[in-house]
Structure 1
Amino acid sequence: MELLYKGKTKDVYQDQSGEIVLYFKDDMTGKDGVFDPGENQVGLTVEGSGRAGLEMTSFFFEKINAAGIPTHYVSADIEAREMRVKKITVFGEGLEVICRYRAVGSFIRRYGNYVEEGAALPAYVETTLKDDARQDPLINEAALEALGILEPGEYGKIVDMTVKISELVKDELSRKGLELYDIKLEFGRDAETGEILLIDELSGGNMRVFKDKEAVGPLEIGEYLLN
């Protein structure tokens, strides 16, 4: 296979038939050896995390597809740690969308004068640009349109999809006694049709999850969810 892009937690390949394949690595985002879904650098390598990430990703993407929400997911080979996906184009150089149910992480660092840590939030959605050098800056609808990253009306579609996907994930986790505090999603367009799709992955590395007010590690989430 031809390597197209080497990422922090996944590498992107194209096979001989032209299909796009994501390879899930054992690298995780964080800092000083501590996992943090909000970090934009590799902070640690944990054996088995790539397989675990793909297992959870395929579990959620199949449910999201079944719910009629479009994604880039085609199929997964868990043993090979490979996921086949549709060809997509990204918004700008990448757009991430966070849905927050609790005031934690960067939200409390920014707005701590106005809210207590852990306070409930009503599926609050915010967007950031993928830009390591600028620490993934927040951006609003008007700026996304002014910069030509989104077309008029697309922001609302992405927010609507984000809430529907986040609620689906939240409900699945709650069945196992887990509470979703926040989740980070990524969207792009189908390269052929232009349809907005959920892309990238959807695993423990994308979310903060708690059980009885105690943080649940990204690999532990899958153990609760898939067993």
Structure 2
Amino acid sequence: MEKIYQGKTKDVYSLGKNEILLQFKDDVTGENGVFDPGANTVGLRIEGAGRSGLKMTTFFFNKLNSLNIPTHFIASDLDKVTMTVKEAEVLGKGLEVICRYRAVGSFLRRYAAYCEEGQALDSFVEVTIKDDERGDPVISDDALAMLGILNREQYTELKELTKMICGIVKEELAKKDLELYDIKLEFGHDKATGELILIDEISGGNMRVYKDGKYVAPLELEKLFLS
């Protein structure tokens, strides 16, 4: 295998024939030793986080694939903590798409003058640029189009797919009395077909979930959800 990228929470290897191997790590994003799914730096290392993330990711990608929602998922190996996926081309130089159901995190920090912590939001979708140096700035649909990153039709497709996927995740979590506050997704174009597909992962490491009004940490979330 050829290592082609070393990420914050995963290392990426080429398998050839438009297939990629993702090696999940125990590093999670955050600041000052506190986990934060919206942070752009590795904040701490939690033993078992990689396997925990892969277990949840496998569940959700299998669910989405069964519903014919386009993803990059092919298979996973929990023992090796790896996932085999279709090779995809990222949007621009990398975008993150956040769907918010409650006002927390960076949304609350930005708009606290207009909302209260935990205030309900109507599946609010926002896009940020993956750019550590500039703090992953939020970008509007107008700017995406003007900068040649996504045209209007592509943005609409991205937004609709995000709401659909996050709605499914939210419903599955609710079955275990868990409430999704926000979730961060990534998308790309299937290198073989050009289709817009969900990439990366769906796990406690890229979402905020609460139970009975209390935040649930990623490893605890996996245990509660998959028990």
Q: TM-score of the superposition, structure 1-length normalised? A: 0.98
Give the number of equivalent residue pairs: 227
User: Which amino acid in structure 2 is aligned with residue 93 of structure 1?
Assistant: K
Partner of 1:84: 84
Partner of 1:133 in structure 2? 133
Letter in 1 for 2:181: Y
Partners of 1:195 and 1:16 in 2: how far apart? 19
Do 2:18 and 2:192's aligned partners in 1 also have CA atoms closer than 8 Å? no
Contact 2:18 2:87 in 1 (8 A): no
Match of 2:168 in 1: 168
CA distance in 1, matches of 2:16, 2:162: 34
Change over 3 Å in CA distance of 1:148–1:34 after alignment to 2: same
Counterparts of 1:115 and 1:145, CA distance in 2: 29
1:165-209: CA deviation from partner (whole Å, max 9, x where unpaired): 111010111110110000000011011211100000111011000
Gaps of 5+ in 1: none
Deviation at 1:23, TM superposition (A): 0.3
Taking the TM superposition and a 5 Å limit, the aligned residue runs for 1:1-12 are 1-12=1-12
Q: Report whether the alignment pairs 1:72 with 2:72.
A: yes
Consecutive unaligned residues in structure 2, runs of 5 or more: none
Q: Distance in 1 between matches of 2:176 and 2:32?
A: 31
Q: Does 1:58 align with 2:90?
A: no
Runs of 4+ in 1 over 6 A off after TM superposition: none
1: CA distance between counterparts of 2:17 and 2:143? 39
Higher deviation after alignment, 163-172 or 143-152: 143-152
Aligned position for 1:219: 219
Native 8 Å contact 2:26 2:45 kept in 1: yes
Per the alignment, residue 184 of structure 1 pairs with 184
Structure 1 residue aligned with 2:46: 46
Q: Find the aligned partners of 1:49 and 1:182 in 2 and give their Cα distance.
A: 19
Deviation at 1:155, TM superposition (A): 0.4
Q: 1 CA distance for matches of 2:108 and 2:217?
A: 20
- After TM superposition, give the deviation of residue 16 of structure 1 in Å: 6.3
Name the aligned partner's letter for residue 113 of structure 2: N
Backbone CA RMSD of aligned residues: 1.0
- Distance across 1 between alignment mates of 2:38 and 2:147: 24
Q: 1:64 to 1:142 in 2, by over 3 A?
A: same
CA contact (8 A) 2:64 2:165 kept: yes
Q: Give the deviation of 1:92 after TM superposition.
A: 1.1
Q: Which amino acid aligns with 2:90?
A: V
Separation in 2, partners of 1:16, 1:97? 28
1:21 alignment counterpart: 21
Deviation at 1:151, TM superposition (A): 2.8
In 1, Cα distance between equivalents of 2:124 and 2:38: 16
